[in-house]
Structures are given as C-alpha cells and as structure tokens.
Amino acid sequence: MNAIIQFTQKLNGIFKFHGGVHPPGNKSSSTQAPIADVTLPALLTLPLRQHVGHLPKVKIQVGEHVLKGQLLAEAEGAVSAAIHAPTSGTIVAIEEAVIPHPSSLPDYCIRLQPDGKDAWVAHTGQDWRNTERSALIQSLTGSGIVGMGGATFPTQIKLRTDGKSNIHTLVINAAECEPYISCDDMLMRERADGIVQGVLIAQHLMSAEKVVIGIEDNKPLAIAAMQEAVKNTDIQVKIVPTLYPSGDARRLVYLLLGQEIAHDKRSTQEGIQVFNVATMLALHRYFDHGEPSISRIVTITGNVAQPQNFEVLFGTPVSHLLAAAGGVGTDTSHYIMGGPMMGFDLPDANVPVTKASNCIIAASPGLFPSAPPAMPCIRCTRCADACPVSLQPQELYWFAKSDNFEKARDYDLFDCIECGACSYVCPSHIPLVQYYRYAKSEIIATDKAKEAADLARERNEARLARIEREKQERAQKHAERAQGAKKAAEKMVAAADSDQAQTGATADEAKKAAIAAAIARAKAQKEAQAATGEAPKNMAAPSASVQQEIADIDARRAAVGLSEADSPAMQDADKQAKIAAAIAKAKAAKAAAQTGHSATSATSAVVDPEKQAKTDPAIARARAAKAAAEASKNVSELAAPQLTTTASADQEKQAKIAAAIARAKAAKAAAEAAKIAATAGNTDDAKE
Amino acid sequence: MLTALSIMLGLAIALGLLLGYAALKFKVDGDPLIAKIDAILPQTQCGQCGYPGCKPYATAIAHGEADINQCPPGGDAGVRALADLLGVEYKPLNGEPKPKSVAFIDENTCIGCTLCIQACPVDAILGAAKHMHTIISSECTGCELCVAPCPVDCISMTPVAETPENWKWKYPTIPIVPVAHQG
Ligand code: SF4
Ligand code: SF4
Ligand code: SF4
Ligand code: SF4
Ligand code: SF4
C-alpha cells in the first residue's frame, strides 16, 4: 500500500519524507478578512537583536528626528542586518527593554516616538537587471532584510554566491505548515505579483536555472493566485500534501526535489537555496521601490475577537495588535509568539513585533489545555515514527534527562529541528522538545567554556614563555655588565673606604631617610615657590578646562586616600625623591660592598636582611642578592666549586654570589647571606 | 614441522620489527596523562587548588601528589570528569564554585601602577605605566588574582550577566497545577 502511495506521489513529483504529524490547522479563522493596516502606536521599540549574528551598530542619537526608512543601525561584521525607522518620529531612548525571546531577558532597543506624519526618507528603486550583481548584493547589506520565515538569517549572505557553491535551484518555502499561522497564505493571495517579482530578482542574483515554489494543499486560494502570477515565467508552483513539518527547509527540499541533504551539509553545497515567500516580497520592495525592511505581515489569532492578519511595523507592541484584533478574551492566560508547535510564550504583551514574529496567539485554557502530567516513557517508539529527521527521540530523551550529553550528541541531537512532532504523539505526554532544548544549550555552553579554557591555556602558556625569555635575557645582560664593570670595581672599592660611616646604618633606613629628605626638599621648594609667587611652568596660565581637570583629578585622588604629596604640582619633587632613592640604593650597595674589608661590618649588614626575612622573604632575597651581586663586581671572579652545587632555583646567581663573597674572605657571612637568599627565594618562588 | 616453525619465527620477527618501528614512529612526546588532566581543568589559573596554575595541578594529580577535588572553578562536573579519567573514586568538591565573574577596573580610580598586569595569568589587562588600565573581559578567566595587588582597590569582580545570547534553556520542570482548575 505504502509503495503504491509513494509511486503515485513520485508521478506528481512529490516525495514524502519520513514521519510527520497532522495537528489541527486552525488557520481558517484568521483568513476570513484581508490583510489590514494598524494604526500607529504611541511608541515603537526596535530591538537591535532581530536577526542571527552580530548586533548592528547604532547610527543615530537620542533626540534625533528620523524619517521613515532612515537607517538607525547599520550591519556590522560578516553576519548582521541593518535596522531602519519604521515610521518618522523622534528617537526617545536607546535602552534595555524586554524583547520577544524565550529567555524573557532585556536587550538593547531603540525607542522611536512616531510623529504621525509617516514621512518617507528619499528612496528609489534600482535597475537591478542592468546592475552588477556584486553591487546589488552589497547594497542589500543596507536593506535590513532577513529570513522572514523565522530563521532571521541575513538575506544578503544567503544570496551571496561564492565561487564554490553553484546554486542551480531556488526553493521558495510557502508551505506554512504550522497550525494557526496564515500570514504567508494571505500574502500570496493578495500580493502574488510582488512575490514573483522578488523571486525573479533572487533568481537573477543567483543565476539559478530552476525555481520551485512549494505550497501546502490546504491553501487553495494562495495556490490559485500564485499559479496566476507565475504564468509568464519559468517558475514552478508545486503543491505538497499538508503534513507537519513540511515547512522545514530540508523536508521541503526533499518533498519538491526528492533530494536528501546529508546532515553535515548545507543545502547550498548541493546547489539548492531555500527562501521564504515573505523574504521574496521584501526583496521586491527593496530593489524595485527602495523600501528597506520595516514591516511584515503578522497573524493575530487564538482567543481574540477578530482573528486577522495585519501589516505591522516592526517595533509595534503586541498589545497594540491584540487591541486592533478586537481585544482578547477574559480567560486569556498567556501569549505565544510563533506557532503552537515551535513557538514560545511571551514574557508579557508589551514586547514588540520583530522581523521574526510571524504569528501571535492569545492562548486560553480552552484552546490550549495544560498538558497532563508526564508519565514515564514506555518505549513505544511512536516518537521515532513521527520524527521527520529519523532520529530516536526516546533515546535522546533518556540521555538528555540524565545529563548524558555526550551520548545525546552521538545520537545526533543537533540534527533535531525541535519541530515537536515527537512530543505531539507521545502517549506519556513527555515534553520531549524541552529536554532537547535544554541539552542543546547545555552542550553549547560547555563547548563555549571549553573554547574559553583553551584560549586561557594558550595565553597562560604564552605568558609563562615570555616571562622565562625575559628572565634569560636579563641574566645575560647582567653577566655582560658584570664583565664590563670589572675594571670600574677597583675604583668603587676605594670609594667605599671613605663611606665607612654608612655601614652602621641599614640599607632600609638609608633609603627611608633619603626619601624623607627628598620630600622635605620638595616641600621647601614648593614653599619657596609660593613665597616668591612663582608658579611652576606648566601651571603658568592654566585654562579653565585644565583647571577643572586638575580639580577632578585631585578630587579622585583624595577619594582614594592619596596624600597631597602626590599632587601633580609636586611632580618635580617626585622625580627628585626618586633620584634620592636611587642614590640611597647605591650607597646601600656600597655599604654592602664593605663586606670585602671587614667581616664584622658584613655581619651587621647581613643581620638586618636575616631579621627581615621572617617578615618579608621577597625583600630579603632581593636585598641579599643585590648586596652580594654588588660585592661580586668588586672582585675578580674565582669560583668556589663546593658552593655552586647548592640545589636551588637560581644556581647561577648563587654561584656568583658565593664566589664573590668567598673571594672577599668573608666566607661565613657570605654563606649566611646565600642561605637566606636561598630560603627566601624558594618560599617566594613557590608563592608565585 | 620445520616449515611451521620457520613461519612462526618469520612472523615473530616481522611483527617484532613492525612493533619496534611503530614504537619509534608514533612515540608520544610528554606525558599524555598530564595533558588529558589539563584538558579537563577549567584553565582559570586561579591557584585555589594550591598550585600556581592548572598545569602544575594537573602534573601533581598525574604524579599522585594531589587530590582530584581541589579545583573549585571546575565544579562538581570537573571532579567527576577527573574521577572518570583516572578511574578513581569520586570525592565531593573541596570548596565552593563561584558564579563565573570577570574583573572590572574602575577607570577613574586607576593610577596606572601596572601591578595588576603583572598578576594576571592570561594577560587579560591592557594598560601602561601611569595610564588607565582596563580588562579585556573576553579574555578574563575570573581568577581574581589582580584584585589583591591593586593599591587603590579599584578592581572588582562582576558576575557575568545572563543575556539573550548566553541564556540557557532550563531543565524541564512539571508545573504544579491547582486541582480545582482541572475539575
Ligand atoms: S512516544 Fe513517548 S512514551 Fe513512546 S517511546 Fe517516545 S518518549 Fe517514550
Ligand atoms: S523535535 Fe526533534 S526529535 Fe522530536 S520529532 Fe522533531 S526532529 Fe525529531
Ligand atoms: S583551582 Fe582549578 S582553575 Fe584554579 S589553578 Fe587550580 S586547577 Fe586551575
Ligand atoms: S583580569 Fe584579573 S581576574 Fe581576569 S584573568 Fe586577569 S588576573 Fe584574573
Ligand atoms: S593595580 Fe589597580 S591601580 Fe594599578 S594599574 Fe591595575 S587597576 Fe590600576
């Protein structure tokens, strides 16, 4: 029997796909009246995120007056779409507002207050038949047109033909298989000529040989209108049997062409591109009239007084549309955007209509009774029979439920189109699709985390390599300098003799004293300046803005508790303090060099680092190492092999330290210093 | 008898050579176990495990010196993955995983001391001496190592906010419907 049906279908050129379900259509209620216009709402809210890809870049400012069709945000990055003003008016805000998204989270939106004039910006069509294709596609980037079927993929990317994929067939998706939705149906009935014009443009852009429009057989009026419109063209209109989800791109391609597209391939790789009918009309409007994408047809149905299709400006609040459809019934429980199979519940009725919104359903317990509690899976495999992608929904459910994501991925979870056919037939009323969505977003999040971790690892390794390289470079430089300083060392020894008095003072104290002196000097200088009334050069005649800036900076610094000694007027003093500190450092070094002359003074110099080592090993290490290194400069090199074997991280440095100090005949004190350096170094290294 | 013996001998020699060649040809550099463990660790490089980074911790685990439950950013899932990989018993996590955060520098307060740059294990901070510093938030792992060194306390950790882009579908829950409604 099945074989016979398949055979007759093949004769008609229709190929039935696996699975599918027949949910009640509920479309007739909204197709009684023609497409109507709605009045301008008080405020339009235009989310920046209305398409797949990057957010566009806002080109206007709050308070600016814009005309209908004026560019508000331009496409940025490879995958992005522009946003235009749906009517003339004033931009009142660019802020976060709740957008129609299953997350109910806010996102950036442009708020436009219409001025009621609906005045168009200057716009004209293009002579697309005689224009370079690449120029046409380039201009399409500014059209804001995205896939109107719900996928919202920027159309300029789908129309771009790269050298690799040679598109021979265009499939126009007019199946509209999901219950309740009738916007494409009405569009075809009323604007078939415009659609066909759009199809011709797309065909021209892609130089496709064949164009097939697929319409489900439950739309006889639309079929008639389309067949009439395509009369003088080579476009084919094919009627496909009503079966959910024939509107899925891959299903429709199979239905119309009998060609299956492998799950890891795109249809373009097979030379087939699929567009929605409404997208075709948008193309026609853009190329023939210069109108960007600013409105769409939306079905308002369900629990409303007069279900109907409306031509709606993007950004119109859903509540405004519901009022236009005669208001909602009192028992309305929530609102669904999209169809009952694949749509999602709106967070509230004030969210705006976007490029993706094809249908708003006012739901009531009567229309959508809440699902009975889910029962355990009885492994009846009805879901597998219904699955149009030939997956094993019961297995996917099992894996998703138990967070066994790797297995779910192995069972091709990502081929699931979330059509809901499996949930629809499940006798246990298991919300299967919800589990798949959950598992998919968990897997995507894990993949992203993994990517971030890989990036972090790479950056961390690069950083460690850099630090290591710098360390080696520094060590090399030190070695070179030590060689060069050998001769100068003799002089330093002589100079150090005269500085004996310094040996008693510790390096720390010397430094502190020097800094204090420097600050005192700086203060005295400032006072002197104040006394003579002479301002520092850079303060000679500050402009108001500069003064303001200085005041700001002072205020900020005060806020974080920095003393006035740090104020910009004291920069000179700062410099002097630094120089003084440097001198102090040099003196301290000389003091340390003294170790070469008297063991007692060396001990006194070492005692302090030792004490400090307990409180601050890093400082102690640095100081001991510095002192010892300085000492090494003062003497000719002679290694002390028995000491170089010390197991420590800085063997080379230590060897030098040890050698130098040994040569200086203060072996005891030097060994102590080295030990301190080693322990301090080790603890510090472990900390790093 | 002799043929059989010579065939077996010939086979043994041939296979031996083949194996020897394969051992040389497909030699694995480094310790694959460390790399495998490191691949599981979240690479936050925060040091909460007591080691100076994820790789050192991975090395310690591989050498049997560290427990598998010492990495809070990896969370429970991380411990389970490690237990799976190493074939050891799962242990409850030692510590509490925090929500993912990124560092934020109050640019009005920053004095440009570069201390935070030196602390950041993944070079996620941009700045120069005496100039304002800022975090490249896409690179920040949220390790918090830059917070302590800042002398003016202008770095704070901000939890990563949920946006429509990174939002996840939740695990399905069965809504509880009042019984009166159903009648
Ligand atoms: S239809 Fe429902 S009960 Fe049957 S196998 Fe699928 S998930 Fe299980
Ligand atoms: S929702 Fe996924 S698993 Fe279920 S029938 Fe559709 S494609 Fe198959
Ligand atoms: S605690 Fe975890 S993330 Fe932090 S360094 Fe250790 S292994 Fe890496
Ligand atoms: S910026 Fe701070 S928190 Fe972020 S990775 Fe660098 S050190 Fe860690
Ligand atoms: S540590 Fe703080 S003050 Fe210093 S550069 Fe970083 S953010 Fe600025």
Q: Which two tokens stand for residue B61?
A: 């685990």
Which residues have C-beta atoms less than 6 Å from ligand 3? B 41-42, 44-49, 51, 53-54, 57, 71-74
Q: CB A105 to CB B164 under 8 A?
A: yes
Which distant-in-sequence residues (6+ apart) come within 8 Å of A29 by Cβ? A301, A307
List the single residue in A with minimal CA-CA distance to B142. Answer: A456
How far is Cα A185 from Cα A223, in angstroms, rounded to an integer?
Answer: 9
Distance (Å) of CA A65 to CA A45, A71, A294, A477, B4 = 15, 12, 17, 64, 97
Q: What average pLDDT does this structure show over A327-354? A: 90
Which residues of A sit within 8 Å Cβ distance of B? 49, 99, 101-103, 105, 107, 365, 370, 373-374, 431, 434-435, 437-438, 440-442, 444-445, 448-449, 452-457, 459-463, 556, 559-560, 562, 686, 688
For residues B17 and A633, give the distance between their C-alpha atoms in angstroms, rounded to a whole number: 60
CB contact under 8 A, B52 and A107: no
Split at pLDDT 50, 70, 90, the class of B121 is very high
For Cα atoms B55, B57, B60, give the angle at the middle one, nearest 5 degrees.
110
What is the model's pLDDT at position A79? 87
pLDDT band at B183 (very low <50, low <70, confident <90, very high): very low
- CA-nearest of B109, B110, B67, B113 to B92 is B67
Q: What is the 3-state secondary structure (H, E, C) of A21-86?
A: ECCCCCCHHHHCCCCEECCCCCCEEEECCCCCCCCCEECCCCCCEECECCEEEECCCCCCCCEECC
- Is the C-beta atom of A391 inside 6 A of ligand 1? no
pLDDT digits (tens, 9 = 90+) for B10-60: 999 999 999 999 888 877 666 788 888 999 999 999 889 899 889 999 999
Give Rg (Cα) of chain A: 39
Which residue CA neighbors atom 7 of ligand 3 most closely? B54
% residues pLDDT > 70 (chain A): 68
Inter-chain contacts counted by CB atoms under 8 A, chains A and B = 86
Element (H, E) at A272: strand A272-276
Q: Is the pLDDT of residue A504 over 50?
A: no
Res. A431 pLDDT band, cuts 50 70 90: very high
The tokens for A159 are 């129309």
Residue-range domains of chain A with CATH: 1-25+127-291 (3.40.50.11540), 377-484 (no CATH), 487-536+546-687 (no CATH)
Q: Which of B48, B65, B94 to mutate to test the pocket of ligand 3 (most atoms within 8 A of CB)?
A: B48
Q: Is the pLDDT of residue A570 over 70?
A: no
pLDDT tens string A164-190: 568 889 999 999 899 999 999 999 999
Assign A637 a pLDDT band (cuts: 50, 70, 90): very low
Residue B122 pLDDT more than 60? yes
- At A329 the pLDDT is 87
Predicted pLDDT of residue A335: 93
Give which of A49, A96, A459 to mutate to test B binding, by max B Cβ within 10 Å: A459
Q: Tell me the CA–centroid distance for residue A391 and ligand 1, in Å.
A: 13
Q: Judge contact between A170 and A210, C-beta under 8 A.
A: yes
Name all domains of chain B by residue range, CATH numbers in brackets.
32-86 (1.10.15.40), 98-162 (3.30.70.20)
Given the CA of residue A384, which atom of ligand 1 is nearest to it? 6
Phi, psi angle pair for A197, to nearest 5°: -60, -45
Give the least confident one: A230-234, A435-439, A467-471: A230-234
- Hey, are the CB atoms on B121 and A463 less than 8 Å from each other? yes
Higher per-residue pLDDT: B160 or A629: B160
State percent of chain A over pLDDT 90: 42
Q: How far is the CA of B178 from the centre of ligand 3 (A)?
A: 47
Amino acid at A530: A
Q: Is the pLDDT of residue A394 over 50?
A: yes
Q: Which of B41, B109, B141 is opposite residue A556, by nearest beta carbon? A: B109
Higher pLDDT, A577 or A157: A157
Rounded to whole angstroms, the Cα distance separating B145 from A504 reads 40
Residue range A111-125: average pLDDT?
90
Query: Confidence band (pLDDT; 50, 70, 90) for A640?
Result: very low
Half-sphere exposure of A511 (CA within 13 A, CB side): 11
pLDDT the model gives residue A110: 94
Residue A646 has pLDDT above 60, yes or no: no
Res A58 pLDDT > 80: yes
Mean pLDDT of chain B: 87
Mean pLDDT of A133-148: 87
Looking at the CA of A394, which ligand is closest?
1
Of A311, A302, A273, A100, nearest in space to A194 by CA: A311
pLDDT bucket at A142, cuts 50 / 70 / 90: confident
Alpha-carbon separation of residue A385 from A295, A423, A667 (angstroms): 39, 12, 89
- Confidence grade of residue A146 (pLDDT, cut at 50, 70, 90): very high
CB atoms under 10 Å from CB of A229, counted, come to: 21
pLDDT at A454: 92
pLDDT of A510 > 60? The answer is: no
pLDDT in tens, A18-42: 888 999 988 988 888 899 999 999 9
Task: Classify strands A236-240 and A210-216 as parallel, antiparallel or unpaired.
Answer: parallel
Where residue A556 falls among pLDDT bands split at 50, 70, 90? Answer: low
The atom of ligand 3 lying closest to the CA of B53 is 5
The residue-averaged pLDDT of A312-323 equals: 93
| Record: contact B169-A437, CB cut-off 8 A | yes
CA distance A597 to A627: 14
pLDDT, one tens digit per residue, over A71-111 is 999 988 888 899 999 999 999 999 999 999 988 889 999 99
Torsion angle (degrees, nearest 10) of CA A661, A664, A668, A671: 0
Cα–Cα distance for residue pair A333/A323, rounded to 1 Å: 16
User: Which of A182, A183, A179, A161 has its CA nearest to residue A170?
Assistant: A161
- Convert the pLDDT of each residue in B74-84 to its tens digit: 888 889 889 98
Contact between chains at A434 and B169 (C-beta distance less than 8 A): yes
Closest by CA position to B32, among listed B80, B70, B86: B86
Q: Exposed (0-12), middle (13-18) or buried (19+): which is B163, by Cβ within 10 Å?
A: middle
Whether residue B105 has its Cβ less than 6 Å from ligand 4:
no
Lining ligand 2 with CB less than 6 A are: A 386-389, 391, 393, 416-422, 432-433, 436
The more confidently predicted of residues A36 and A498 is A36
Paired tokens of A278: 């409404």
Ligand 4 pocket test, pick from B107, B114, B122 with the greatest ligand atom count within 8 Å of Cβ, gives B122
d(CA A14, CA A258): 7
Among B43, B46, B68, B140, the mutation site with the greatest number of ligand 3 atoms within 8 A of its Cβ is: B46
For residue A685, the model assigns a pLDDT of 40
Minimum Cα–Cα distance from A685: chain B residue: B52
Poorest-confidence range of A51-65, A135-149, A647-661?
A: A647-661
Chain A interface mutation, best of B40, B44, B115, B169, highest count of A Cβ atoms under 10 Å: B169
Q: List chain A residues with CB under 8 Å of B41.
A: 453
* Index of the ligand 3 atom closest to the CA of residue B57: 7
In terms of pLDDT, which residue wins out, B121 or B183? B121
Let me know: does A298 contact A181? Beta carbons within 8 Å.
no
What is the DSSP code (8-state) at residue A304?
B
Distance between CA A514 and CA A585 in Å, rounded? 9
* Subunit contact B45:A456, Cβ cutoff 8 A: yes
| DSSP 8-state code for residue A364 | -
Distance from the alpha carbon of residue B54 to the mean position of ligand 3, in angstroms: 5
Confidence of residue A354 (pLDDT cuts 50, 70, 90): very high
**From atom 1 of ligand 1, which residue's Cα is the shortest distance away?**
A426
pLDDT 10s digits, A457-495: 999 999 999 999 999 999 999 999 988 877 677 666 656
Asked whether A382 and A425 are in contact (CB, 8 A), the reply is yes
Are the CB atoms for A56 and A83 separated by under 8 Å? yes
Instruction: Provide the total of helices (H) and of strands (E) in chain B, helices listed first.
Output: 6, 4
Q: Is the pLDDT of residue B61 over 60?
A: yes
Identify which ligand lies nearest to the alpha carbon of B147.
4
Q: Is the minimum distance from the CB of A378 to ligand 1 under 6 angstroms?
A: yes
Give the pLDDT confidence score for residue A678 in this predicted structure. 46
Output the residue whose Cα is nearest ligand 2's atom 6. A419
Closest CA to A145 of A339, A290, A36: A290
Is it true that the peptide bond before A372 is cis, omega within 30 degrees of 0?
no
Write out pLDDT tens, residues A239-272: 999 998 898 999 999 999 988 888 888 888 888 9
CB atoms within 10 A of CB A652: 12
Using the predicted structure, report yes or no on whether residue A566 has a pLDDT greater than 50: no
| pLDDT, mean of residues A565-575 | 45
Number of residues that this document lists for chain B: 183
All residues of chain B having their beta carbon less than 8 Å from the beta carbon of residue A618 are: none
Q: What residue numbers of B does the annotated binding site for [4Fe-4S] cluster cover? A: 46, 49, 54, 71, 110, 113, 116, 120, 140, 143, 146, 150
Q: What is the pLDDT of residue A76?
A: 87
Determine the Cα–Cα distance for residues A464 and B166; give it in Å rounded to an integer: 31
The mean of the pLDDT values for chain A is 78
Beta-carbon contacts of A100 under 8 Å, excluding residues fewer than 6 positions away, are: A47, A318, A337, A346, A351, A352, A353, A354, A356, A357
- Does residue A648 carry a pLDDT above 60? no
Q: What is the mean pLDDT of residues A338-367?
A: 91
Answer yes or no: is pLDDT of A414 > 90.
yes
Q: What distance lies between CA A151 and its chain's CA centroid?
A: 19
Q: Could you tell me the CA-to-CA distances from A89 to A37, A40, A93, A353 in Å, in that order?
A: 19, 11, 12, 18
Q: What is the CA radius of gyration of chain B?
A: 26
H/E stretch holding A405: helix A405-410
Two structure tokens written together for A654: 């230590």
